Each structure stands twice: as C-alpha cells, then as structure tokens.
Chain A
Amino acid sequence: MALAVAGLLLFLLPLAGLVARAPWDQVGPALVAPETATALGLSLFCSVTATAIALVLGIPLALLLARTSGAPRAILRALTTLPMVLPPVVGGVALWLAFGRRGLVGGPLYNAFGIQIPFTTAAAVIAETFVAMPFLVIAVEGGLRALDARYEEAARALGAGGWKVFSRVTLPLVRPAIFSGAVLCWARALGEFGATITFAGNLPGRTQTIPLAVYIALETRPEGAIALSLILLAVSLAILIGMRDRWLGAL
C-alpha cells in the first residue's frame, strides 16, 4: 500500500508542481495565442494520423506476431518493440538514413521525383508512428493471444472464409485490446519529441508540435512553456477520461 502511494506520488508530484507554479494569468493569453492553436492543431493532426496508420499497419503485424512461434516470433517481437527502447533521437537519425534525401528509400524518391520527406508534416507523422506503433502492436497481440481459438474454429466449421472469420469473429473479440492499444499509441504519439525534432525539424505550423513548442519556449519564456504544458495536459486528460468507459476497459 505504501509502495502504491509512493508510486502514485511519483506521478502526481511533478504534475502538482506544474499546477502550483503555473502562471495562471498567462494560461489565458497562451491559450488564445495563434501559435498555440497552430501547435495544438498540428499535434492533434499528427498524433491522430499516426494512430490511424498504426491501426492499418499494426493490426496485421499483431496478427502475424500472434500466429508465429519460436525463434521467428522472438525476432519479430524484438524488432517490433525496438522503437520502444531506442532513444527517440537515435530513432530520428535512423529515419533519416531510411527516408532522408540520402536514405535507402528517401534517396531514390528524391532523385527520381524530387520528393523530400524530412522537414515536412509527413515526416512528423512518420516519426510519431515509428515511436508509437509498438504500443498498439503489443496490446493487440496480447488480446489475440488471450483469444479463445474455439470461436474462430467454430466459425470456420460453419463455413466462414478467412476474411469473414477475421472481420466478424476475431476483430470484434479483440476490440477492447485494439482500443486500448490505439489510445496508448495516440498518447505516446502526442508526447513525441526526440524523433520528431531530429527527423522532422522544428518549424511552427509545419513540424512544431506542442512538445517542441514547449521545449523552445522553456528557454525564452518558461511561463509560456508551463502554460503550454498545462494545455497539452488538459487536452490529453479530457480525452483519456472521456474515453475511459467506452474504450479503456481492457487497460
């Protein structure tokens, strides 16, 4: 119990510090400042898009993970979770080497079509997806493994095809895991800093999400940074609480 309280305090004290030291008279102006709206809008856009991409790519990946076993699974799983342990800045450099103008994929893309990914909003979305998707994959894989295979077998015995079994039986059964994974993924994407600033750079309106804006503001006007942090905190709390009953059952 004492340990639980200590754990909770570790979370709550920094938040309390933020609230206690908040320059409340500056939160209002910071909230209506056009730069805040720009950064907040960009943050929401990038994190939601990253989550959508993670859903499209992550659920099949989770299926693949859940259906393999032994050494291949161990390797696949390690590769999938790598972005979770990699320092995000290193992730950003790795993204350069893959999608930059000189990158494995980005190089041919730039030379053939003149398409340049770094320093674009797309780069911010890619960086967020890279860092956040593992959270979704792990959650969905857990859900799939806990699944009672007999439901799928029964559906198959009754003549349902592969896609039908997946969309009508498997998917509804793991929905709680998908939702909780998506929320975790979105929250991680919203707070992403290191990979974004490395791979996408920092430009207001294009790649400067709230975490980046907070970092820049911290050095010149700390009050503004605290105000911005509070806004991000309030938005994420509101969304997390608003979703708790419907989607977070499995968390």
Chain B
Amino acid sequence: MSMWSCLVSKPLAALVAFYVLAALTGCASRSYCPNECTQQVAPTNLTVFAAASLQPAFDLIAGKVKSQYEITTTFNYAGTQTLTSQLTQGAQADVFASADVAHMTTAQNAGLIAGSSQVFVHNRLEIAVEKSNPKGIHSLADLARPGLTIVLADPSVPAGKYAQQALAKAGVTVHPASLEPQVTGVLSKVAFGEADAGIVYVSDIVTSGKVSGIAIPDSQNVIADYPIAMLSGAQNKTGADAFVKYVLSSQGQAILVGAGFERA
C-alpha cells in the first residue's frame, strides 16, 4: 500500500482531485494575457443591477457592448426593491437600472449614485391573458368578474404598485389569488394556465411570447419611468459610462423599443 493511500482515504482523495480539477478548469477559462500582464489595463468586467423586466433588452445590449468595447457584462436581474436593498446593504455594482424613480431616489439618498440618474425608457401596463384569450377578458373591469383567477404583483414591487394605481383609476376591485414577489411570477402563472389573467408590463408580454396582451387605455394606465445611473462605488467607471451611453444611444433605444419599451 502506497503512502498516499495510507494517508488519504478514498473519498478524501476524490475531494482533493475535485478541487484540483476545478482550479485547473477555472484557470483555463480565465484568459491569460501573454505579454501585457504587467501593463495597467482597463477592467473588462462590468456588473449591472437591473430590474427583472429589462432582462431581454439588456441581454441584447450587453452583446453589442461586448463587441464594441470588449466589456463583459454580468447582470443581477431581480425585482427593483430587491436590488435596492442589496445595494443599500453594500452589494458591489457599477450600474443600477431601476423600474421606478422611487427606488432610484432611495439609492441616491443613500449616497450610492455617482452624479445623477437619467430616465431611459418608459413602460406601460397591459393585461396578460392566456394565448387566444379563452376567458374573453377585454378590460380591467373584466378582472372583477367572479370565477376568474387573477394574479398580481405584490404592492411592494413596482409592477404591483402600478397595477393597484391602474385598478384604482378604473374603479375596479379585484380579489387576487396571489400577490407575486416578482412580475415574472405573474407572467409564469398566466403562461402555465394556472391564472386566467394578471397585470404586467407591455415589455413582459412582448418578450415572453407565451401570453397575449390586452391593452389598457391611457386614461387607466400607469406609465413607469425607468431611470439608470452609474454607482458611486463603481470599479469600472469607463465601462459603466459606455454601458449607460449605449442604453441612451439610438441603437440602444431601438433594442429597448423592440422589447416593448417606449422611448424616453
């Protein structure tokens, strides 16, 4: 019996092998810079905290930013309220894109924002129903019909707050079956056929493709403003600046419009 097998039991040896392998593959995936390692290079990684509803558009924008500036963007997509509490708890990021002005103001008051924020798109609400609209839902008032399973976002989420405002404008009282902590929860419950309808953003319906949208008239609708800003703790200020500029550029705006948002 060799000394190695005396000292190290089989499971432990397997564990060691696992970590060695993990370290090797980790090294391999990180690209080594052969010559210019000693030179100061601008960081190529960018961390963006963005409202969950921005995911389809921002994923496309990240692709463009990568090919133009060689910057790799890592996203943290979540409900704006989750992102805000993560940031105030000290999470490190370069850019923050919020689904409402209120949470951006919270971040600003906490001293987290570098300079000022800028509203870059608008989003409006729409009723999400199952494809082909089997329950014949045509307005917010229809959501109050008995026997329907309605799902809304929780009022602590921007989408839920806007939905309440829209229902109040329409003078409609609904009894939701669930108050989801993310607008994507509303979408998936309608898409799976577990709920008959929900109130989400137009952009959610455009990019989901699994539900149909019923427009809400302007008089009852709520227009959401999405502000974006560089964070004061940004470690990649150049990259953050490039990303924000791209989002505001005509190319960036075209991508966002394609994803169902409205030009700022």
- What is the bound-complex CA distance between A216 and B178, given in angstroms? 13
Classify chain A: how many residues form its interface, as a range: 20 to 34
- What are 19 pairs between A and B in contact, CB < 8 Å? A96-B192, A96-B194, A100-B192, A100-B193, A102-B193, A118-B177, A118-B189, A118-B194, A119-B149, A200-B178, A201-B178, A201-B179, A202-B178, A203-B178, A207-B178, A216-B179, A216-B181, A218-B85, A219-B181
Taking the closest CB of chain B, its distance from the CB of A161, in whole angstroms, is 45
Instruction: Name the prevailing secondary structure of the B interface residues.
Output: loop
A203 to B189, CA, bound (A): 14
- Contact assessment for A202 and B85 in the assembled complex, using a CB-CB cutoff below 8 Å: no
Bound: A179/B249 CA distance, A? 64
Tell me whether B151 is interfacial, beta carbon within 8 Å: yes
Q: Does the CB pair A116–B149 fall under 8 Å?
A: yes
Chain B residues whose C-beta falls within 8 Å of the C-beta of A203 in the assembled complex: 176-179
Give the complex CA separation of A38 and B176 in angstroms.
Answer: 18
Q: Tell yes or no: B239 within 8 A of A by CB.
A: no
Q: Which of B177, B181, B195 contacts A197 (CB 8 A)?
A: B181
Name the residue of chain B whose CB is nearest to the CB of A197: B181
The 8 closest A-B pairs by CB, nearest first: A201-B178, A119-B177, A219-B81, A220-B156, A102-B193, A118-B194, A219-B156, A100-B194
Q: Most chain-A CB neighbours within 10 Å: which of B79, B151, B176, B177?
A: B177
Q: How far apart are B99's CB and chain A's nearest CB, in angstroms? A: 13
When the two chains form their complex, are residues A202 and B149 in contact, meaning their CB atoms are under 8 A apart? Answer: no
Q: Are B194 and A202 in touch, CB under 8 angstroms?
A: no
Q: What distance in Å separates the Cβ of A29 from its nearest Cβ neighbour in chain B?
A: 19
Given A207-B178, A216-B181, A202 and B192 contact (CB-CB distance below 8 Å): no
Known: A119-B194, A202-B181. 20 other contacts (CB 8 A): A100-B192, A100-B194, A102-B192, A119-B177, A119-B195, A201-B179, A201-B180, A201-B189, A202-B178, A202-B179, A202-B180, A203-B176, A203-B177, A203-B178, A203-B179, A207-B178, A215-B181, A216-B156, A218-B85, A219-B181
Q: Mark A201-222, 1 if CB is under 8 A from B, else 0.
A: 1111001000000011011101
Write the residues of chain B forming the contact surface with A, with a CB cutoff of 8 angstroms: 79, 81-82, 85, 149, 151, 154, 156-157, 176-181, 185, 189, 192-195
Chain B CB within 10 Å — which of A119, A200, A219, A222 has the most?
Answer: A219
- Taking Cβ atoms with an 8 Å cutoff, the residues of A that contact B are 96, 100-102, 116, 118-119, 197, 200-204, 207, 215-216, 218-220, 222
What distance in Å separates the Cβ of B100 from its nearest Cβ neighbour in chain A? 13
Out of B85, B157, B177, which one reaches A201, CB within 8 Å?
Answer: B177
Contact status B194-A216, CB under 8 Å? no
Q: What's the least CB distance linking A46 to chain B, in Å?
A: 15
Which chain A positions have C-beta within 8 A of B157?
Answer: 219
* A101-B193 CB under 8 A given contacts A216-B154, A222-B85: yes
Tell whether, in the assembled complex, residue B79 and residue A219 are in contact, meaning their CB atoms are under 8 Å apart: yes
Residues of chain A contacted by B177 (CB below 8 angstroms): 118-119, 201, 203
Bound CA–CA A216/B79 (angstroms): 11
